[in-house]
Chain A
Amino acid sequence: MAIVGIVEDNKKIRDLIQRYLDMQEGMQCPVATDTVEEMLEFLEEHQHPNVLLMDIQLPGMSGIKGMEIIKSKYPDIDIIMLTVYHDSHKIFDSLKAGASGYLLKHTSLPEIKESIENLLKGGAPMSPQIARKVITHFNDQAPKKNEDSMLTSREQDIVNGLVDGLSYKMIADRLDISIDTVRAHIRNIYKKLHVNSKAEVIAKSLRGEI
């Protein structure tokens, strides 16, 4: 049983997604809150959801800040960002903060469900523009990073494929690996992205920039 939680300030959208997911077999959506703060309270006292759908623009704490907190406290929770804007800056910021993927709000309900299932199976979506930012990010970091947080050559190949606009299937064909392996690599890239971002924050604070 996959447990899903929702943080979304539009009540109608929140209720629709919650009711829909609750109706699905193998899925349960016991909690849908208005704010990150309420979700944090819930997490203190209840069983953790496997996946959280989280809006970015929220009253009170922003979704990006919320993700950082939730990820640092409960690293096992996968967070999917739910956004109105197809805005690569915000999406990338949220990925750095710990999101494992993103969905546009007008994504259809069956697609939302599918994305959650894919994520749980190990898949994580990444669009070319995000992939581009991933490359820039890692290149910028390159001189000062240890190897653990660098992309492996295979991960580099996959990101390049994404930048070229190739689908997962095409990347899998090109590199002669399975689609699941591509997914797993992408997931790993996300993880490194999170680690890097944390390191970046520390480095910045050491330099006195923040």
Chain B
Amino acid sequence: MKFISILFITVFIGLNSVYAQTYPFRTYSIEEGLSESVVYDIIQDSDGFIWLATGFGLNKFDGYSFETFFEDHGLLSSQTNTIFEASDGGIWVGTDNGAQVIYGDSVHTYPDLRGLESHSVISIYQDSNGEFWFGTEGSGVWHYFGDGSLEVYTTNNGLAGNQVRAITETIDGSLWFATRSGVSRLSNGNFRSYTQANGLPENRIRDIKVDPIDPNKLWVATRNGLAHFDGESFSAINGTSELVDQKVRAITFGENNDIWLATEGGISLYRNNSFTNFGTEEGLSANIVYSAMSDREGNIWFGTLGGGASLLLGQYFENFDTESGLPNNLVTSFTEDANGTMWIGSYGGGLVSFDGSEFEYFYTQHGLPDNRVYHLSTDSKGRTWVGMRDGLAFIQNGEMYEFSEQEFPFRKVRHVNETTAGTYWISTYDEGLIHLKDDGFEQFTSEDGLPNNTVLVTAEDEEGNLWIATYGGVAKKTSDGFELYSLQDGLPNNGIMDLIVDESGTVWIASFGGIAWFDGVQFIEITDADGLPGRVCYFIEQDSNGIYWVGTNAGLARLDIDKYYSNDEVEQNQAIQILQSDQGLIANEANLGAVYEDADKNLWIGTVDGVSKFYPEEYRGNQVPPRVKITDFRASGRSFQSNDITLDYDRDFIQIDFSAINFTAPNLVTYRYRMSNIDPEWQYTTERTARYPSLPSGKYTFEVQAQNSSGVWSFNTATIDFSLNPPFWFTWWFVSIIVIVIAGILYLFYRNYQYMQMVDIERMRVRIASDLHDDVGASLTEVALQSDFLQASSMDSEFKNSLTQIGQQCRKIVTSLDDIVWSIDARNDTLGDLTDRMQDYILNVLEPLNFEVHYNFDDLKMEEKIPVPVKENLYLIFKEAINNIAKYSNGDKVDIGMKSNGSSFTFVIHDNGTTGKGAKKTGQGLRNMQMRAQRMNGSVDITQNDGFRIELKGKLTLN
């Protein structure tokens, strides 16, 4: 026998370490999408969104991602100092250049508040009258009345100081201002100030908050600690323990009368007249803390300098790892010895004892046979058993007994189980089950009927039967041998890692494929498909409240078996609650069998990355129901906003995004949705999108609900209605219209075949002319403008002349084209149109030559129609005549007249120019006129009598 005095060793070698555990803080900073790491203020709005004011930008957070607002979005300054939600839901933000309000996603600037824009706004408050107060950095407090006027109060009006850092209101209607020179109270129109002389510990006040229980009372953050106003007077709060730092920046209230203080040296929890302190060592992201806010789920948010926002999820976990003093993070086992000392075993780090404040280490150099510890347990004799990779030992009365090779020739000891008879069942990896008695041992292996030689754990049931967990299934030792249970008996997997007999005598196992319990005949499994966070279950433990705890490869599960088998759906949903690293667990991957309930009923959980100590009393779960919202509705890629949407038949790929705000465990929110007529039942998902690739036409209602990690369903159901139109070729009206149209076309075609032909010719004429005009005309116009443009630059006059001519020529062609198009265009077919056009032409051609033109159209019926060929030829003859006059006439008067009797007309142009000179040259022009007159079945008569006279006669009808 080899005894080693453990007391002796610890006196000499025990390396003591003052422990520092970490708490479940979650950090949101630049890496997570926050715009800057300095957070001056945090609020939660009535929709549940978290708003964070940073030194560069305002952030809106939904648990998944940040929406940011900068000057680009209309902010007066990206330096934001304070945020306040008004009673109408507007989010007010105080910046270095005044205050603004955000509705929805748009920033509004009030012209009324322009006066504030040259000041830095550091606090905002809406009083019980609905009026706003803006505290500034050095310019007093500004009062914004409902009617639009803005008034400022400074020390001149009795305010204690001009730096107003916080504003609040007590139930009596008094407004309270926290300034750098004391607290000011405004009641009945008068300021009254309170300073050190009135009991405050310091005059530099940082924050002031109304007590949530007694709205007459106040809590005040000063540069020298916390102070309280009891309705009558101020007094400093001196707890039984020290505040982490006297420079208190912000106050917020937690559950159970907790008061959380943000200071320049960490955070302090004031509870039962004492302070509990937290700093970076406990997991806070930075020690200088500017702001604090408790959300609806009971989490406390802290805004830090340089560390973004730190979210404290509660104090139900305390975590230890090598940084806190553990020798090794791979923690395998726990036990409390006969003296109540906690022992922690790790694979590679030996043993460590923990008295609640200090660690004492015990390694091979102190006499431990092996640092690779698998198992720790304490028996009824006060022995603490240590199962190691390289053997077995126990500690009793401060001395260690190591089993020799002869006494116990086995390695890899996974479990030691004391029987009621006082013997021990030792589970070994590879060497089967060993029955250790005072007088020796007995080995059971597969040769004796064990399913597998890797035995992890044993447990005795109420009838004294031994249940054995192996990598080949479960074995029950009976008097005749072993009864075996494997997959066909309901086990989720044959690799069993843990086995317990619970309070009621039921056998439970944890395996590589889930957990299961034995109903007397077979095993009933509960796996990840039933809600466990992971498939591989390393341990199962029942605590003294009857709750089962399952350590998996993906977090810890809390199983309430009564709720699990309840008929009530709400209870079923709450049966399995998941705790992961997001909720403060030190790591998601547990170790085999590494769970222990201590005498104080707290749970110790060993993981691959350290130890989590769980306080069931502090854990209330996540009782706040999430609020689910539909965030986007897309049909074939396009977003639709309203609630009642009608879609075309081809927009049949529907995607609906939804989300629920839950900060405790945003990634553990479960959604269920259903589409009327499509989904017969609720569809469950953890994704935030539902997709329907090709919906048939019809009316739909989509509903979605959300469930948080504690199984609490949202009160509300978010819904969206929409309808998908049938393709038009499926509608009865379309078919009827098609039939009618086809019939109509056939009928018309039959009736108007000839007429159509005529119309076609006419149309084609117009189209050719129009196209010519459009294409050629546009090009010519370009040339003309180009020449104008060139003329604008300096160049020699000859060149300029040519350019001018090019331009003029181009315009002339365009004008001619225009005339042709006009004359054959059937729309300009009244006498009025014709005479208008003529007058226009004269205005352009003869007016500049100072001709006096008299018209005699009085007898004409202007609305009378004129056939296109007649119009065309008449107009062109007229043009020819006018051009002749413009070119050759030496007169100064022109008479133009037209008469019509309804079927035939006479048209006369007569100028007073003397004959002779130009007559010859007009020969070609006159022949043209003759030709045109013939084309319209008319005649032209040209005389030179008192000037040049052209008389044209024709018919107003075609034939």
A residues lining the B interface (CB < 8 Å): 10, 12-13, 16-17, 19-20, 23, 84-89, 104-106, 108-110, 127-129, 132, 163-165, 167
Contacts of A85 in B (CB 8 A): 773, 818, 821-822
Complex Cα gap A127–B418 (Å) = 118
Q: Determine whether the beta carbon of A19 is less than 8 Å from that of B789.
A: yes
Q: Determine whether the beta carbon of B789 is less than 8 Å from that of A16.
A: yes
Q: Determine whether the beta carbon of B818 is less than 8 Å from that of A127.
A: no
Is B678 in contact with chain A by the CB < 8 A criterion?
Answer: no
Contacts of B778 in A (CB 8 A): 10, 13, 84, 105
Closest to B833 in A: A88
Q: Determine whether the beta carbon of B855 is less than 8 Å from that of A164.
A: yes
Q: List 29 A-B contacts (CB under 8 A).
A: A12-B785, A16-B785, A17-B785, A20-B789, A84-B773, A84-B774, A84-B781, A85-B773, A85-B818, A86-B815, A86-B818, A86-B822, A86-B840, A87-B822, A88-B828, A88-B833, A104-B818, A106-B780, A106-B810, A106-B814, A108-B784, A109-B785, A109-B789, A110-B788, A128-B840, A165-B843, A165-B847, A165-B853, A167-B843
Q: What's the least CB distance linking B935 to chain A, in Å?
A: 23
Complex Cα gap A109–B781 (Å) = 11
Contacts of B941 in A (CB 8 A): none
Contacts of A132 in B (CB 8 A): 832, 836
Q: Determine whether the beta carbon of A16 is less than 8 Å from that of B836.
A: no
17 other contacts beyond A86-B822, A129-B839, with CB at 8 A cut-off?
A: A16-B785, A19-B789, A20-B788, A84-B778, A85-B822, A89-B827, A105-B777, A105-B778, A106-B785, A106-B810, A127-B843, A128-B840, A129-B836, A163-B839, A164-B855, A165-B839, A165-B843
Complex Cα gap A85–B833 (Å) = 14
Is B837 in contact with chain A by the CB < 8 A criterion?
Answer: yes
Q: Determine whether the beta carbon of A108 is less than 8 Å from that of B842.
A: no
Q: Determine whether the beta carbon of B843 is less than 8 Å from that of A128.
A: yes
Complex Cα gap A89–B833 (Å) = 10
Closest to B853 in A: A165
Complex Cα gap A200–B664 (Å) = 65
Q: Determine whether the beta carbon of B837 is less than 8 Å from that of A129.
A: yes
Complex Cα gap A108–B781 (Å) = 9
Complex Cα gap A19–B792 (Å) = 11
Residue from A13, A88, A129 in contact with B785 in the complex, judged by beta carbons closer than 8 Å: A13
Q: Determine whether the beta carbon of A13 is less than 8 Å from that of B788.
A: no
Complex Cα gap A87–B837 (Å) = 9
B residues lining the A interface (CB < 8 Å): 773-774, 777-778, 780-782, 784-786, 788-789, 792, 807, 810-811, 814-815, 818, 821-822, 825, 827-828, 832-833, 836-837, 839-840, 842-843, 847, 853, 855
Which 5 residue pairs are nearest across A and B when measured between Cβ atoms? A129-B836, A109-B788, A128-B839, A16-B785, A106-B814
Which of A10, A20, A86, A132 has most chain B Cβ within 10 Å? A86
Contacts of B811 in A (CB 8 A): 106, 108
Complex Cα gap A11–B780 (Å) = 14
Q: Determine whether the beta carbon of A13 is less than 8 Å from that of B782.
A: yes
Complex Cα gap A65–B160 (Å) = 64
Q: Contacts A12-B782, A13-B782, A128-B843 hold; do A88 and B836 have CB atoms under 8 A apart? A: yes
Complex Cα gap A195–B839 (Å) = 27
Q: What's the least CB distance linking A186 to chain B, in Å?
A: 15
Q: What's the least CB distance linking A31 to chain B, in Å?
A: 19
Closest to A132 in B: B836
Q: What's the least CB distance linking B600 to chain A, in Å?
A: 69
Complex Cα gap A163–B782 (Å) = 32
Q: Determine whether the beta carbon of B839 is less than 8 Å from that of A105.
A: no
Q: What's the least CB distance linking A153 to chain B, in Å?
A: 21
Q: Contacts A108-B784, A164-B855, A165-B855 hold; do A23 and B839 have CB atoms under 8 A apart? A: no
Complex Cα gap A206–B840 (Å) = 37
Contacts of B781 in A (CB 8 A): 10, 13, 84, 105-106
Q: What's the least CB distance linking A23 to chain B, in Å?
A: 6
Contacts of B840 in A (CB 8 A): 86, 127-129
Complex Cα gap A84–B819 (Å) = 12
Contacts of B822 in A (CB 8 A): 85-87
Contacts of A109 in B (CB 8 A): 785, 788-789, 792
Contacts of A88 in B (CB 8 A): 828, 833, 836-837
Contacts of B782 in A (CB 8 A): 10, 12-13, 16
Q: What's the least CB distance linking B868 to chain A, in Å?
A: 15
Contacts of B821 in A (CB 8 A): 85
Q: What's the least CB distance linking A100 to chain B, in Å?
A: 19
Q: Determine whether the beta carbon of A16 is less than 8 Å from that of B810.
A: no
Complex Cα gap A56–B822 (Å) = 17
Q: Determine whether the beta carbon of B807 is less than 8 Å from that of A108.
A: yes
Closest to B782 in A: A12
Which of A17, A108, A127, A132 has most chain B Cβ within 10 Å? A108
Contacts of B843 in A (CB 8 A): 127-128, 165, 167
Which of A17, A23, A165 has most chain B Cβ within 10 Å? A165
Contacts of B815 in A (CB 8 A): 86, 106
Q: What's the least CB distance linking B879 to chain A, in Å?
A: 13
Q: Determine whether the beta carbon of A84 is less than 8 Å from that of B837.
A: no
Q: What's the least CB distance linking A197 to chain B, in Å?
A: 20
Complex Cα gap A109–B847 (Å) = 22
Q: What's the least CB distance linking B780 to chain A, in Å?
A: 7
Contacts of A108 in B (CB 8 A): 784-785, 788, 807, 811
Q: What's the least CB distance linking A84 to chain B, in Å?
A: 6
Closest to A20 in B: B789
Complex Cα gap A164–B822 (Å) = 22
Complex Cα gap A167–B792 (Å) = 29
Q: What's the least CB distance linking B746 to chain A, in Å?
A: 32
Closest to A17 in B: B785
Contacts of A10 in B (CB 8 A): 778, 781-782
Contacts of A20 in B (CB 8 A): 785, 788-789, 792
Which of B785, B828, B842, B847 has most chain A Cβ within 10 Å? B785
Q: What's the least CB distance linking A54 to chain B, in Å?
A: 16
Q: What's the least CB distance linking B442 to chain A, in Å?
A: 92
Complex Cα gap A167–B782 (Å) = 30
Complex Cα gap A104–B545 (Å) = 94
Complex Cα gap A127–B847 (Å) = 12
Complex Cα gap A70–B789 (Å) = 29
Complex Cα gap A109–B853 (Å) = 29
Which of B818, B836, B837 has most chain A Cβ within 10 Å? B836
Contacts of B784 in A (CB 8 A): 106, 108
Contacts of A127 in B (CB 8 A): 839-840, 843
Q: Determine whether the beta carbon of B839 is less than 8 Å from that of A16.
A: no
Q: What's the least CB distance linking A58 to chain B, in Å?
A: 13
Closest to B793 in A: A23
Complex Cα gap A85–B769 (Å) = 12
Q: Determine whether the beta carbon of A84 is less than 8 Å from that of B788.
A: no
Contacts of B810 in A (CB 8 A): 106
Closest to A12 in B: B782
Contacts of A89 in B (CB 8 A): 827-828
Complex Cα gap A16–B791 (Å) = 12
Q: What's the least CB distance linking A180 to chain B, in Å?
A: 20
Complex Cα gap A12–B783 (Å) = 10
Contacts of B855 in A (CB 8 A): 164-165
Complex Cα gap A122–B853 (Å) = 28
Residue from A23, A87, A104 in contact with B792 in the complex, judged by beta carbons closer than 8 Å: A23
Q: What's the least CB distance linking A125 to chain B, in Å?
A: 11
Complex Cα gap A163–B855 (Å) = 10
Complex Cα gap A87–B819 (Å) = 10
Closest to B815 in A: A106
Q: What's the least CB distance linking B895 to chain A, in Å?
A: 12
Complex Cα gap A110–B788 (Å) = 8
Contacts of B786 in A (CB 8 A): 12, 16
Complex Cα gap A167–B788 (Å) = 26
Which of A10, A87, A104, A163 has most chain B Cβ within 10 Å? A87
Closest to A130 in B: B836
Complex Cα gap A90–B11 (Å) = 110
Contacts of A16 in B (CB 8 A): 782, 785-786, 788-789
Q: What's the least CB distance linking B857 to chain A, in Å?
A: 10
